[in-house]
């Protein structure tokens, strides 16, 4: 019997099926945004959720993350979206786990890049397993500026704060990269205000992207507007959008 497919894979229609990276400056509202996703549970690798009324599991080591993921895999729970806040600390815990497992002080101690490869392979293994589960997966990161030296000169680019190898792993697997930013706007009284926005399209000056092609280039940092924008693009020309989340 052939194992080759006989039909094309259809695009995933629901937000709850997607893997999303959400990043931006501290306190801009990333966790608040993700908390409004359907059936959210936070795997909290750092403090910062005290002001939110959410389900959360404190994660203080890679073993904690593995044990929690094992329970998620069993499916004996009501949750529909897993949120790792932050993915940066999760990667640090993964590094600590490999260093301890191989009884070394640093990844470089194994030589020839072996330590780094072990960390990245373990990190990618677990994230890939989570991404294939029938739940949404949101990964939260902070933002940093890096200097790019191009043929036409230097410029500043905003990227997630993950180490380079980890960032490439995450960017390669997510369906969306949402950059949370501040956009100058004029208030009702004519004064300038800062509007919190999500940027979804690639730019020379920041990391962003939307493989679904459903989102506008910029929208308010508001989960309902994000959800409505995603659904509106999926609606048939003569009918209402199919609900993607509750």
Of residues 80, 54, 164, the one with CA closest to residue 120: 164
Domain architecture of the chain: domains with CATH:
15-234 (3.40.50)
Please tell me which residue, 13 or 240, carries the higher pLDDT value: 13
Joined tokens for residue 101: 């497992």
The model's pLDDT over 105-161, given as tens digits with 9 standing for 90+, comes to: 887 777 777 989 999 999 999 999 999 999 999 999 999 999 999 888 899 999 999
Mean pLDDT estimate for the chain: 89
The pLDDT-based confidence of 239 (bands split at 50, 70, 90) is very low
Q: Is the pLDDT of residue 92 over 90?
A: yes
* Beta carbons within 8 Å of 84's beta carbon, 6+ residues apart: 43, 45, 65, 90, 137, 138, 139, 140
pLDDT at residue number 55: 95
| Chain centroid, CA 233 distance in Å | 21
pLDDT at residue 53 in the model: 92
Is this structure's pTM higher than 0.85?
Answer: yes
């Amino acid at each position: 019997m052939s194992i080759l497919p006989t039909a094309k894979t259809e695009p995933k229609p629901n937000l709850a099926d997607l893997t999303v990276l959400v990043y931006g400056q501290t306190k801009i509202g990333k966790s608040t945004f993700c908390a409004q996703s359907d059936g959210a549970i936070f795997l909290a690798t750092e403090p910062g959720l005290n002001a939110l009324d959410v389900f959360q599991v404190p994660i203080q080591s890679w073993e904690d993350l593995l044990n929690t993921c094992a329970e998620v895999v069993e499916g004996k729970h009501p949750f529909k979206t897993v949120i790792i806040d932050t993915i940066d600390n999760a990667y640090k815990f993964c590094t600590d786990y490999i260093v301890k497992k191989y009884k070394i002080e640093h990844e470089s101690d194994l030589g020839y890049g072996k330590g780094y490869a072990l960390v990245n392979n373990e990190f990618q293994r677990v994230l890939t397993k989570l991404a294939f589960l029938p739940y949404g997966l949101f990964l939260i990161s902070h933002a940093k500026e890096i200097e790019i030296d191009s043929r036409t000169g230097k410029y500043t680019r905003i990227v997630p704060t993950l180490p380079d190898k980890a960032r490439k792993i995450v960017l390669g697997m997510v369906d969306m990269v949402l950059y949370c930013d501040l956009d100058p706007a004029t208030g009702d009284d004519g004064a300038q205000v800062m509007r919190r926005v999500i940027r979804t399209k690639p730019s020379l000056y920041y990391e962003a992207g939307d493989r679904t092609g459903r989102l506008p280039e910029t929208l308010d940092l508001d989960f309902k507007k994000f959800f409505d924008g995603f659904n509106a693009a999926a609606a048939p020309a003569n009918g209402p959008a199919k609900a993607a989340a509750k």
